[in-house]
Chain A
């Protein structure tokens, strides 16, 4: 049984921060309206951030069905906690952190249930491609192939290569050594290479 780990602060990849579109109310205004009881404002927050968080949830969980459930839970939690949101961080950062925590809890809980050790994936990851790729990798193919990655290396890959976190941050979030993060990402890339060739 694994010990409960102290969760480190979660960074927010700056290159993907949500930016308010011109003419749209700023996040801070929406938060203030929500806190004042404006239900429409919460829906606007959802519309603004749902795609980003749904993408994260689907990819971390490895299935759209789990992604839907996670997104629902993330926004319910956000609704419950919005009253205490002080604005110390941007809303996008706050809600992303909340989503990432939720996704990590989900994945850990599933791994614990399945008693699955990522170390056992070593042999499986070392798959050689069957042929030479002639065309560039399509985004949609890679997104689908992500679902076929084993738990463990998928989370490291999503956090590093998709979400843009560095290995130090990935290692801290997943509670693994930095070298293990590198190794898991490498395994995921090899596996994807085999799947996409």
Chain B
């Protein structure tokens, strides 16, 4: 008879070492001597435990700090309350502009979430009654979302255009190429929405493409910041990411 899950688990966790559990330990060790499947199980579980305890740390992508910086630029600062203006460094001006785009994005996500929750919670009767109203409402919300994305994208485009001279020709070309691909995808999905206004996949695709463009522009702003800071490693990581997207 094989030992219980509890005993094997405790043995793997080295919890059978106490004198009170010496008998359990001896019985298990004796069983393991003659049972290959249990012995393999214990070896494998010990290996998993050992490796799990020595996993490498993961380095977060550079864009995470850039996003935090942008969000911080929107925060009421502790230093402001103390009349200290030291946090108002020039590097945060760029962040403040980009932060407006993030706020716009959050609004868009809110709009989309509202659409989903409402459509799943309504009863069949009310859906029938409200079909025409909803179609108009969906269109209006789609227009609103598009308008928010447009504003966010325009804001970031202004920043990146103003700083375009910062990039070397290869990076500038990669950025242009990536933007052109996304713009084409936006145009195509927009045409699909016009042709089939009720198509959920078409609307989703348009929003995804807007999101992709916003993400690319955010990465571009992050790149500008890393270059300004003279962070070569951060710059290289972002450029590598841009190349992969291209």
Contact = CB atoms under 8 A, between A and B. Distances in A.
Interface of A: 35-39, 42-43, 46, 50-52, 54-55, 58-59, 64, 67-68, 71-72, 75-76, 79-80, 82-83, 129, 132-133, 136-140, 142-143, 157, 161-162, 164, 167, 182-183, 185-186, 189-190, 192-193, 196-197
A51 B68 contact: no
Given A161-B48, A182-B6, 11 more contacts: A43-B65, A50-B65, A51-B57, A55-B55, A55-B57, A79-B68, A137-B47, A139-B54, A142-B48, A142-B55, A161-B49
B64 A72 contact: yes
Contacts of A138: 51
Given A39-B86, A55-B58, A76 B72 contact: yes
Contacts of B78: 35, 37, 82-83
A76 B77 CA distance: 12
A82 B56 CA distance: 28
A71 B82 contact: no
A68 B215 CA distance: 14
21 contacts: A36-B79, A37-B85, A39-B72, A39-B86, A39-B92, A50-B65, A58-B58, A59-B55, A72-B64, A75-B68, A79-B72, A132-B40, A137-B48, A142-B52, A157-B52, A161-B48, A182-B9, A186-B8, A186-B9, A190-B45, A193-B45
A68 B49 contact: no
Q: Which A-B residue pairs are the 4 nearest by beta carbons?
A: A37-B79, A161-B52, A83-B78, A54-B60
B174 to A, nearest CB: 22
A63 to B, nearest CB: 12
Contacts of A142: 48, 51-52, 55
Interface residues of B, number: 44
Interface string B79-114: 100101111010010000000000000000000000
A123 B92 CA distance: 53
Contact of B52 (A54, A80, A82, A162): A162
A185 B10 CA distance: 11
B5 interface: yes
Contacts of A43: 65, 69
A3 B52 CA distance: 32
A192 B55 CA distance: 14
Contacts of A52: 57
B86 A37 contact: yes
A185 B67 contact: no
B183 to A, nearest CB: 25
Given A39-B87, A161-B53, A162-B53, A189 B48 contact: yes
Contacts of B64: 50, 54, 68, 71-72
Nearest to B37: A128
A51 B10 CA distance: 31
A63 B47 CA distance: 23
B60 A68 contact: yes
